[in-house]
Amino acid sequence: MWFLKRGWWLQLLQFIAVLGLLWMLSLLIPLKTARRPAYILRYQWLEYTNNDESPEKVCNCTGILQGEKEALLKAKLLTITKDFQKIIQIPDEYYINATQDCRKFQTSRKYITFPLSKEEEEFPLAYSMVVHHKDTFHFVQNFERLLRAIYTPQNIYCVHVDKKAPASVFAAIKAITSCFPNVFMVSKAVNVVYAGWTRVQADLNCMADLYNTSTTWKYFINLCGQDFPLKTNLEIVQALRSLKGGNSLESEEMPQGKKKRVTNAYQVVGGKRTGKTKDPTPFNLPILSGNAYIVVNRGYVRSVLEDKRIQALIEWAKDTYSPDEFLWATIQRIPGVPGSTWPNRKFDMTDINAIARMVKWQWHEGSEDSVQAVYPECKGHHVRSICVYGAGDLQWLIEQHHLFANKFDADRDPIAIYCLEKYLRHKALIELV
């Protein structure tokens, strides 16, 4: 036959063999890679891409996250450029107008409006978000970016805005919260005073609202407007599951230099001592040192709201200095509180070991070869001896086990936030496949 002489049949057999080889190779491709095309088609609208109308898109986030010097230098130069600083600021009025059409707002801002996994759907979280005017002017913008980064429909969010904030801030944040059925303004706002009792009261008010609004959430996390997550929602859920009902927060023996904060009475405004010596703690509860940031189970919150020992401790603490830096830590060591640990110092937990928050204190920073340093030097700037992170801190931050980091400021380094949220969004979507 003519086609046999020309080797046509041999070419056909070779073609079939190649198809068979390709099919066999496809069986060896990992499941995640094999399903990648479906992810691209279905969820690409949720990705932060370089096609977005974000001024920060000119930065090389991949290079920044890998610590590349050229990418970091370009980012640093941009952050001090006046024209760049001008175009990255979003005024409060934008949010008031944009939220007139909630569906369009959610879509344009790329909110995740459906549970990304069954594991996340079955493990809802409760957040207190205390927004107060301290170091940053555009704190509506900071708040909205934080909300977008942690938002999922199965979680619940209570937002407390400092009562003395400008009217435009109230209007903008209220407009944003109105677009989500599981985000609400606290029922009772207070004037938040630095190092005063009202900082604790803001969280307490949200705790009560969250506890009474929903019976399904498993853990409570409190945030401020300058926090940002280091993990995806799925990673947060998995970390909390691994606690097996325990809590994670700083709680250790109080340093000698801080003891005057609880032995003397203070005025709320200005942090001035009144000259009065405080009575011993109710029920002789030992006072432990900690910070404002906590990750606690629902039972802990119930105890805060109902336990008579804790109610007495709360009343006792109202005229102390910076009560947020000992109250939660002390409650964590009260026997019988769900998820608590024994008050013996063997159970002390530092902020480095707890997963609640990564905060860089200036006096613990040092060079990479220093054996005394707790963490590397801040690549951003310092406010009250706390590092306000820059883009150069991201490579180190994403390697930490903490769920959140403090502080970020979109006014000073929007690129740090942009690259971190872009990284987290990509990671969250990859987890789908």
Distance of CA 237 to the CA centre of its chain: 13
Bridge partners (DSSP) listed for residue 375: 365
DSSP-derived letter for residue 255 is: P
Structure tokens at 143: 């708040």
The closest alpha carbon to 340, from 262, 276, 286, 402, belongs to 286
The C-alpha atoms of residue 157 and residue 182 are separated, in whole angstroms, by: 6
Sign of the CA dihedral with 274 first, then 276, 281, and 287 last: positive
Which of 253, 325, 365, 421 is flagged as catalytic? Answer: 325
Q: Look at the chain and count its residues.
A: 433
Closest CA to 428 of 71, 157, 123, 110: 110
Which letter, b or e, does each residue of 336-360 get, where b requires 16 or more Cβ atoms within 10 Å of its Cβ? ebebbbebeeeebbebeebbbbbbb
3-state per-residue secondary structure call for 256-316: HHHCHHHHEEECCCCCCEEEEECCCCHHHCCCEECCCCCEEEHHHHHHHHHCHHHHHHHHH
**CA separation for the pair 89, 253 (Å, rounded):** 43
- Beta-carbon contacts of residue 205 (< 8 Å; ≥ 6 apart): 160, 186, 187, 188, 189, 190
Q: Is the dihedral of CA 202, 323, 288, 406 positive or negative?
A: positive
Q: At what angle do helices 139-150 and 414-430 cross, to 10 degrees?
A: 10
Q: Which of 424, 427, 380, 392 is nearest to 65 (CA)?
A: 392
Catalytic status, residue 325: yes
CA pair distance 402, 221, nearest whole angstrom: 12
Give catalytic residues, as residue numbers: 325
